[in-house]
Amino acid sequence: MPIDLSAVAAAGDLDALATRVRGWLDEHLPAPWRQAALGGDQQALDRILADQVMARAWYAELGESGLATPGWPAEYGGLGLAADAAAVITDELTRLRADRPADEFIGLALAGPTIIEWGSGEQKERFLRPLALGQHRWCQLFSEPGAGSDLASLRTRAVKDGDHWVVNGQKVWSSYSDRADFGLLMARTDPSQPKHRGISYFLLDMHAPGVEVRPLRQLNGHSEFGEVFFTDVVVPDADRLGPEGLGWSVAISTLMQERSGLSGRPGVGPGQADALAARARRTGAWDDPVLRDRIMQAFVTERALQMATVRAFATLGKAEPGAEGSIRKLTHAQLEVTLGLLATEAEPGDAIAWDPPDEDAAAAVDAFLSGKILSIAGGTSEIQRNIIGERVLGLPRDRDPYANTPFEERPND
Amino acid sequence: MNADPADAAPFHWTAEHEEFRGVVRKLIEARAPLACAPSPQSQDPRERELWRTWTDELGLPGMVIPEEHGGSGFSRLELAIAAEELGRAVVGGPLFASAVLATEALLAAGGDVAAEVLPALAEGTKVAALAVTEGTRRWQPDDVATTASGSTRLTGTKESVLSAAGAGLLVVAAREDAGVSLFLAEPGDGVEVTPLEVLDASRPMARITLRDAPARRLSEAGQGWAAVERALQAGTVFLAAEQVGGSRALLDAAVGHAKTRVQFGQPIGRFQGVKHRLADMAARTELASAAAAWAAWQRPGSDAAGLGAAIAGAYCSEAYLETALDAIQVHGGMAITWEHHAHRFLRRARADAAVLRAPREHRRQLESIIGTGA
């Protein structure tokens, strides 16, 4: 049953909305879950999240309520709210650690909005409601070994054969590809066109014959992303998203959503610096005024970033995010590095050797090792600076000598 | 315009806000030279004329003064809009010291004496200065050593008082048995004002030496520091907006230069070494502007207002300084000459980060908030 927000949403009062959603969550979220989240009991929370019965039941109820996809139209399982109201809801869910799991980010934050913007009626019917209900997981099939920052130079080929396409090629750095049901695929459909113009965008069934996923292990030891190989994979033309040859434009929608979605908490309140300070207080490292000031610098930047995110969502309404999202993504990436370093500097001894039950130490090491990931994933910081320079400030574009050369006539690199 | 910013969620500017911003910007672009110091006593007739623009056309001096005291009863938010526009042109003069610091202290103190002088401040016929800091030049109650004998005579030395020369009213913090109180003094017998050499000439500072100077107490004995804190919070919000305006002007000028300055056969803005520096300037300015506006939207005196002012005070001050330094780098050789605009901004950026609480003092204040769930 969708949550009834008619009394608060119409008034545009975000505080009233937050109160209403908080009340609903108090009523519906299982009590042990709420207690573990509010008490910061990570072990209890991990047990709950691993409990398939409780977690699944909750995500299903959350999906039915519309709160997992508040910005989507009501007909597709959303609540039709503007970006700032949707952010208030996300913030309430995050506070209780009750939001959908990280591996659903691509489906909810990237696939959904891109399909809402570009999809046919049939595609919206088929994909959006299951996404809202948490039934499908998605991955992004953009980057390739030879197409990282220069994404438009991708070589995965889709060749038309009657009412379907045959896909061959390879993708890499695809998060959660090992568990995805569908993939957002960019493939070259017309090599006689310059690189940006010969690409089409597909909604690929990851269970189709010829799709092979090989998980990759990241520098932090986790395995979230993978390589994806396509061998004569058949994709119906009905699963093409947006016009043939305009895949780059469709992908820009996805990338803007991604940058905007990678800027941290969309509300002003406790963040990672707060957690760092709390741990430093427990260990006594807080007594060092030099460390304290460095944590406070990160705290100030984190809060300022939150304020910028709140503003972006307040001014966005129901429009799609634009290039300014690169500013927040860039800043967030830099902040992650700083926070990762600080996490291990607070207790330098704990950063190199610790007793296995010491979860604080393990988390600090994980934050340190994971710190640089956001500076690369979702577009490197250099690419974000190019976008800010060129799209936001209007500076002259970087030279690409082959930008207007038919893709097949470019020299082999 | 909205008299109470907390009535709406942050960043929901009204059409009236945008209109006001447009009017202020147009007036400043048309009439205010870079780093000018509009003042009723200026030697420069253009600066006296500009002060009349502030009073008669924009109502800036009385902006946050309630209507019953002759002002227009707007809030920090509206004044912050003006501050950002003033900051774009590094406009100085006594407006900040008088209409923000002294006025907010008087409003927080309340009482008959404040009520008597507020109408003249609202009209702009008089300007006031807030004399708090002494030898340490820190805004700390323990550092106030000036004494009030019999609550009517002040003795002590106030250091680095902003816009003190020319101020017709002095709001002075002094110590009594009950603690720090605020007093109102006027230039005259027992009051010596000595101008200081200053980094930012558009905002002069002076030493005030008080020798048994006659004064009237503004509020209850020992209750003065709360009013000083209120003035500091309002001042920090104003300066944050000004810092954002300055940062934006610097960014705009640097981007303009990078688009037109040709070296190695192309505009230098195409080189990533320049482009990425400008992107970092833009990112910093974006966050600073969000922090400054968020602070201005909070209800004065609330916990959120305290958090917002301290975040903005720390972030916007450093962002402006770094952007002023970066702007010089982008403009190159021209920017290290006296004639170029860059040093006006650099001076103001340095002064703004020191004139109230310094960024690290804001961060130290925030230490009591971090990790408490606020």
Tokens of B164: 């003190």
Would residue B374 count as lying in a domain? no
Q: Model-level pTM?
A: 0.94
Categorize the per-residue pLDDT at B7 as very low, low, confident or very high, splitting at 50, 70 and 90.
low
Chain B residues within 8 A of A305 when measuring between CB atoms: 287
* Residue B34 touches chain A, beta carbons under 8 Å: no
- Using a CB–CB cutoff of 8 Å, tell me whether A316 touches chain B: no
3-state DSSP call for residue B73? coil
pLDDT tens digits, B315-373? 999 999 999 999 999 999 999 999 999 999 999 999 999 999 999 999 999 999 886 66
Q: Where residue B86 sits, what CATH number does that domain have?
A: 1.10.540.10
Strand ranges in B57-166 using DSSP code E only, listed in sequence order: 128-131, 147-149, 153-162
The pLDDT of residue B2 is 43
How many domains are contained in chain B? 3
Which tens digits make up the pLDDT trace of B269-311? 999 999 999 999 999 999 999 999 999 999 998 999 999 999 9
Q: Which of B223, B258, B279 lies at the terminal end of a domain, its last residue?
A: B223
Residue that has been written with the tokens 């609903």 in this structure = A24
- Give the residue from A279, A302, A303 showing the smallest Cα distance to A291: A279
Size of interface A-B (CB pairs under 8 A): 137
Q: What is the pLDDT of residue A98?
A: 93
A33, pLDDT greater than 80: yes
Return the pLDDT at B150.
87
Q: What's the Cα-to-Cα distance from A194 to each of A70, A191, A198, rounded to whole Å?
A: 39, 7, 7
The string over A44-73, giving b where at least 16 C-beta atoms fall within 10 Å of a residue's C-beta and e elsewhere, is: ebeebeeeeeebeebbebbbbbbbbbbbbe
Last residue of a domain, one of B109, B136, B169: B109
- Give a yes or no: residue B215 inside a domain: yes
Mean pLDDT of B88-107: 98
Both B72 and B183 in one domain: the answer is no
Q: Render pLDDT for B210-244 as a digit per residue (tens, 0 to 9).
A: 999 999 999 899 999 999 999 999 999 999 999 99
Asked if A67 and A89 count as a contact pair (C-beta separation under 8 A), the reply is yes
Q: What is the pLDDT of residues A382-413, one digit of tens each?
A: 999 999 999 999 999 999 999 999 999 998 75
Amino acid at A5: L
Q: Is A363 left (phi over 0), alpha (psi -120 to 50) or beta?
A: alpha
Mutation site, B263, B281, B286, interface A, largest A CB count within 10 A: B286
Query: What would the pLDDT profile of B37-83 be if each residue is shown by its tens digit?
Result: 999 999 999 999 999 999 999 999 999 999 999 999 999 999 999 99
Domain of B335 in residue numbering reads as 226-366
Tell me if B285 sits within 8 A of B306, measured CB to CB.
no
Q: Exposed/middle/buried for A102, CB within 10 Å: 0-12, 13-18, 19+?
A: exposed
| Chain A CA closest to residue B360 | A293
pLDDT confidence of residue B64: 97
Tokens encoding B167 = 């101020």
When pLDDT is averaged across residues A220-245 and rounded to a whole number, the result is 96
B120 in any annotated domain: no
The closest alpha carbon to B87, from B286, B316, B255, belongs to: B316
Nearest to B234, CA basis, from B167, B160, B163, B299: B299
What is the tens place of the pLDDT at every residue in A84-124? 888 889 889 988 999 998 889 999 999 999 999 999 999 99
Does the distance separating the beta carbons of B280 and A385 come in below 8 Å? yes
Q: Residue A19 has what pLDDT?
A: 92
Question: Choosing among A81, A300, A329, A331, which should be mutated to test the B contact, i.e. which has the most B CBs within 10 A?
Answer: A300
In the 8-state DSSP scheme, what is residue B126? S
What the block records as the tokens of A164 is: 């379907």
Is the separation of the CB atoms in B217 and B151 below 8 Å? yes
Under 8 Å between Cβ of A76 and A129? yes
pLDDT digits (tens, 9 = 90+) for B11-23: 989 999 999 999 9
If you average pLDDT over every residue of chain B, what do you get?
Answer: 95
A125 assigned to active site:
no
Q: Is the model's pLDDT at B6 over the cut of 60?
A: no
Find the CATH number of the domain harbouring B293. Answer: 1.20.140.10
Residue type, A227: E
Alpha helices in A271-288 (DSSP H): 272-283
Residues within 8 A of A (CB atoms), B 312-341 only = 314-315
Residue B240 shares a structural domain with residue B360? yes
Q: Which of residues 285-304 of A touch B (CB under 8 A)?
A: 292-293, 295-297, 299-301, 303-304
The answer to whether residue B201 is domain-embedded is yes
The minimal CB distance from B283 to the residues A331, A382, A399 is found for: A331
Within-domain flag for B114:
no
DSSP three-state, residue B103: helix
User: pLDDT, tens digit, for every residue of A311-332?
Assistant: 998 888 777 777 889 999 999 9
Interchain proximity B290–A311, CB inside 8 Å: yes
Single-letter amino acid, residue B338: W
- Say what angle helices B76-88 and B15-31 make with each other, to 10 degrees: 30
Helices in chain B by DSSP H: which ranges? 15-31, 45-52, 76-88, 95, 103-109, 111-123, 224-260, 272-297, 303-331, 342-355, 359-366
Shortest CA gap A410–chain B (Å): 23
- Whether B256 and B204 map to the same domain: the answer is no
Interface contact A395-B259, CB threshold 8 A: yes
Whether B239 and B250 share a structural domain: yes
Q: What would the two tokens of residue A135 be? A: 């039934």
**Residue with the two structure tokens 């890499």:** A172
Q: Calculate the CA A38 to chain-centre distance.
A: 24
Residue B373: inside a domain, yes or no?
A: no
Q: What is the pLDDT of residue B5?
A: 52
DSSP-based three-state secondary structure for B45: helix
Domain shared by B359 and B244, yes or no: yes
User: Rounded to whole angstroms, how far apart are CA atoms A96 and B347?
Assistant: 47
Asked if residue B118 is part of any domain, the answer here is no
Quick one: B183 and B313 in the same domain? no
**Does A337 contact B at CB distance below 8 Å?**
no
Residues A48 and A32: their CA atoms lie apart, in Å, by 8
Question: Are B309 and B246 members of one domain?
Answer: yes
Residues B306 and B247 in one domain: yes
**Chain B residues within 8 A of A292 when measuring between CB atoms:** 367
Q: Supply the ipTM of this predicted assembly.
A: 0.96
Spell out which residues of chain B touch residue A331, defining contact as CB-CB under 8 Å: 283, 287
Are residues B173 and B285 both part of a single domain? no
Q: Which of B109, B142, B161 is the last residue of a domain?
A: B109
Name the amino acid, one letter, at B200.
D
The predicted pLDDT at position B3 comes to 46
With CA atoms as reference, the chain B residue closest to A297 would be: B363
Residue A359: its pLDDT value, please? Answer: 86
Chain A from 222 to 281: CB within 8 A of any B CB: 268-270, 273-275, 277-278, 281
HSE toward the beta carbon, residue B107, CA cutoff 13 A: 30
Q: Which residue from B minimizes the CA distance to A294?
A: B363
CB contact under 8 A, A385 and B12: no
Q: Is A210 left (phi over 0), alpha (psi -120 to 50) or beta?
A: left
Do B44 and B144 lie in a common domain? no
β-pair partners for B215: B185
φ, ψ for residue B289, nearest 5 deg: -70, -35
The reply to whether B43 touches chain A by the CB within 8 Å rule is: no
Binary contact (A307, B270; C-beta < 8 A): no
SS3 A194: strand
| A262 Cβ contact list (under 8 Å, min separation 6) | A328, A329, A332, A333, A374, A377, A378
Residue A401 contacts B where some CB pair is shorter than 8 Å: no
Of B90, B91, B95, B104, give the one whose Cα is nearest residue B132: B104
Domains of chain A from N-terminus onward: 6-100 (1.10.540), 138-247 (2.40.110.10), 263-376 (no CATH)
Handedness of CA A96, A101, A105, A108 (dihedral sign): negative
CATH number of the domain to which B176 belongs:
2.40.110.10
Average pLDDT of the residues of chain A:
93
Please say if the pLDDT value at position B128 is more than 70.
yes
Question: Closest approach of chain A CAs to the CA of B334, in angstroms?
Answer: 21
* B360 touches A at CB < 8 Å: yes
The answer to whether the Cβ–Cβ distance between B370 and A273 falls below 8 Å is yes
B231 plus B362 within the same structural domain = yes
Q: Is residue B117 part of a domain?
A: no
> CA B285 to CA B253: how far, in whole Å?
14
Q: Are residues B234 and B304 in the same domain?
A: yes
**DSSP track, A18-86:** HHHHHHHHHHHS-HHHHHHHHTT-HHHHHHHHH-HHHHHHHHHHHHHHTTTSTTS-GGGTS----HHHH
Kindly tell me the burial class for residue B23, based on how many C-beta atoms sit within 10 Å of its own C-beta (0-12, 13-18, 19 or more). middle
Buried b (16+ CB within 10 A) or exposed e, B326-344: bbbebbeeebeeeebbbbb
